[in-house]
Amino acid sequence: MLTVLNPDDEILITDPHYACYPQIISVARGITKKIPVYETGRLPD
């Protein structure tokens, strides 16, 4: 991540996501933008 991100780059990640993704982006001084995968906020039936 450190080689491909510039400070204040916005990174899109799905929500839910792996717990480590926001921390990795933060270390690279990026900004996390979460995109919900499910419109209702829950898994489909």
pLDDT single digits (tens) 5-24: 899 999 999 988 999 999 99
| pTM confidence score | 0.71
pLDDT over 90 percentage in the chain: 58
**3-state helix vs strand vs coil in the chain, percent to 5:** 15, 25, 60
Please report which helix (H) or strand (E) contains residue 36, including its range. Answer: strand 31-36
Q: What's the rounded Cα separation, in Å, for the pair 19 and 17?
A: 6
pLDDT at 3: 83
Surface-to-core class of residue 24, CB atoms within 10 Å of its CB (0-12 exposed, 13-18 middle, 19+ buried): middle
